Structure 1
Amino acid sequence: MKWEGNRESDNIEDRRGDDGGGGGFGGGRSIGLGTIVIALVASYFFGISPSTVLSLLSGGPVSQPQSQQAPSRAAPAEDRQTKFVRTVLADTEDVWTQIFRANGQTYAPPKLVLFSGATQTACGTGQTASGPFYCPGDRKVYIDLSFYQLMQQRFHVSGEFAQAYVIAHEVGHHVQNLMGIMDKVDSARSRMSATQANAVSVRLELQADCLAGVWAFHANQARSILEQGDIEGALNAATAIGDDALQKQAQGYVVPDSFTHGTSAQRVRWFKQGISTGEVKSCNTFEVKTL
């Protein structure tokens, strides 16, 4: 992926070195190793508060937003990985600002929080093991950069474009939040059975995959960021973290009614949909019959 020398974002809040504020995920039944693995990878690519992911998987209540927020920190370090994240975030800002403007709207970019270990959010306590996530309560994306190394070692997901796709997916959730889609989904889920609510969550997550593809289309068109093998790497990552692949790895069998993020094939399809069309309207996962 070509990114060096491009604009870097200032919408970064660096909390690395903080004590994390303590706390953890409470409520529900005990969480076994299989659930931890599924939640860890699910949160990696999909957004939504880790506390929500873990609570739902363990059968407990979803934690309510908290009011505590860490104060803004100084500018982040200038190491290569931090500069990469800042550059990718800037690229999402440029793309979505242009898309919103073309539709007569103003894009309000999210803040990206770098943390280590654990940190307090408006959605509860975020932890490294839960992976990067988006919190709609404070409109921030949270990432512990050490998680990229963990994903390479445990799930063989590598390559800078695959890492950029992680950020683009979380920003896709922010776009959904700005468009009011998240509020509609949350409202609908509250009136549904668990199986129906899971099905709606799948559509939300697949749409974020598609929006990540839309970002990649426009970023490449404007700045030629893609190199040979980049798209294949992202598609391999999408395949590795489909609900069916994760469940089979964690427990040896698949339970379709419990899917919340889509199968490997669905995730690949919707990312390809976004990157091939570059159009937000092509990402309406809520109206198609077949995902």
Structure 2
Amino acid sequence: MQFLHEMPAHAAWDLRHTMAVDDLLKDYLKTLPAGATMAPPRLFVYQGTAFSRACPNSGIDAPAYCPGDHTIYLETGLGDQVAAKFGDFGALSILAHEYGHAYLFKRKQHPEGKYGELAADTFAGGFARFVEQKGYLDPGDIDEARATFAAVGDYEVYHHDHHGTPAERRQAFEQGYQQGFRLPGDAATPPTTPLPPAQAPGAPPTAEQNPPPPIAPLNNGASPVIPLLGLGMGGLLLILIVVGVINMINQARVDD
């Protein structure tokens, strides 16, 4: 890993773990389509605010990937908070998320808006599956990542920088973890259904985990008697028309 700048990190998110995860992410890239020939992103670890001429935003104060210089800007403040609250793998999954952005941009398949964020979450889930299969995770690490992605979701659905709701972000990570990462639009991606949120042992099921039965379709207040009455009146009118025609024919014969 190439460190452009180093600042001391705190809590469980230390540079030693960051370097190890960066190496594993490089290995993971090689398992993805075109990943073996793709240059991995540079990593800039810092604390505070960073500036880059290549990045469209002036002042980077949170973990971000800049396509202009193919660099991940890993600001340690958020990672420290996540590590203290959820654990080290939750914080390190943020780095995997930014790697997801890098891979998607290099493949020129990065979705716009929140869908790009959710795709990067799915990448992080695929990476978690990758390292777990290699036996590198501790018990509870996956739950730390699940909690992290749910915690960084937001409900500002009409904001231009909306990243996805907590349920959407947790579901995106879970999709990558359960099924492996797939590029957006890949026909091999099986359909998925939303996963219920984590539930504390002994807690009653939530509305999402135990949804109410579906509501029967409304009939807009119409009674089934009305169509029957309409049908009967139509038949009666037809009989009257036939009787009238017969009477006209008989009258014409009498006149003749």
TM-score by length of 1: 0.56
Q: Do the aligned residues in 2 keep the contact of 1:209 with 1:270 (CA within 8 Å)?
A: yes
Q: Do the aligned residues in 1 keep the contact of 2:157 with 2:164 (CA within 8 Å)?
A: no
Larger Rg: 2
Cα shift at 1:14: 1.7
CA distance in 1, matches of 2:99, 2:13: 21
1:108 to 36, 39, 44: 39
* Structure-1 residue corresponding to 2:48: 117
* Structure-2 residue corresponding to 1:257: 158
Cα shift at 1:273: 0.6
Bigger proportion of residues as helix: 1
* Structure-2 residue corresponding to 1:85: 18
* Structure-2 residue corresponding to 1:208: 120
* Structure-2 residue corresponding to 1:266: 168
CA distance in 2, matches of 1:205, 1:285: 17
Q: Are positions 1:12 and 2:3 aligned together?
A: yes
Alignment RMSD (CA, Å): 3.1
CA distance in 2, matches of 1:240, 1:201: 19
Higher relative contact order (CA 8 A, sep 6+): 1
Letter of the structure 1 residue corresponding to residue 5 of structure 2: D
CA distance in 2, matches of 1:144, 1:227: 25
* Structure-2 residue corresponding to 1:96: 29
State the SS of the aligned residue for 1:14.
coil
CA distance in 1, matches of 2:186, 2:33: 20
Cα shift at 1:285: 9.2
**In structure 2, do the counterparts of structure 1 residues 139 and 234 end up closer, same or farther at CA, with 3 Å as the change threshold?**
same
State the SS of the aligned residue for 2:59.
strand
Letter of the structure 2 residue corresponding to residue 270 of structure 1: A
CA distance in 2, matches of 1:172, 1:133: 11
State the SS of the aligned residue for 1:137.
coil
CA distance in 2, matches of 1:240, 1:161: 14
1:176 to 104, 107, 110: 104
Cα shift at 1:131: 1.6
**In structure 2, do the counterparts of structure 1 residues 151 and 285 end up closer, same or farther at CA, with 3 Å as the change threshold?**
farther
Cα shift at 1:136: 0.9
Q: Do the aligned residues in 2 keep the contact of 1:100 with 1:107 (CA within 8 Å)?
A: no
State the SS of the aligned residue for 2:89.
helix
* Structure-1 residue corresponding to 2:152: 241
Letter of the structure 1 residue corresponding to residue 22 of structure 2: L
Q: Do the aligned residues in 2 keep the contact of 1:11 with 1:110 (CA within 8 Å)?
A: no
State the SS of the aligned residue for 2:177.
helix
Q: Do the aligned residues in 2 keep the contact of 1:162 with 1:230 (CA within 8 Å)?
A: yes
* Structure-1 residue corresponding to 2:211: none
State the SS of the aligned residue for 2:125.
helix
* Structure-2 residue corresponding to 1:277: 179
**In structure 2, do the counterparts of structure 1 residues 173 and 237 end up closer, same or farther at CA, with 3 Å as the change threshold?**
same
* Structure-1 residue corresponding to 2:229: none
Q: Are positions 1:145 and 2:76 aligned together?
A: yes
Q: Runs of 5+ in structure 1 lacking a partner? A: 1-9, 18-78, 186-199, 245-254
Letter of the structure 1 residue corresponding to residue 2 of structure 2: N
Letter of the structure 2 residue corresponding to residue 147 of structure 1: L
Q: Do the aligned residues in 2 keep the contact of 1:242 with 1:262 (CA within 8 Å)?
A: yes
Deviations 1:147-190 (A, max 9, x none): 3224456xx3x3111011100000000011111023xx5xxxxx
Letter of the structure 2 residue corresponding to residue 114 of structure 1: V
Cα shift at 1:284: 4.2
Cα shift at 1:231: 1.4
Cα shift at 1:260: 2.0
CA distance in 1, matches of 2:128, 2:21: 10
CA distance in 2, matches of 1:285, 1:201: 19
TM-score by length of 2: 0.63
The answer to which of 141-150 and 167-176 deviates more is 141-150
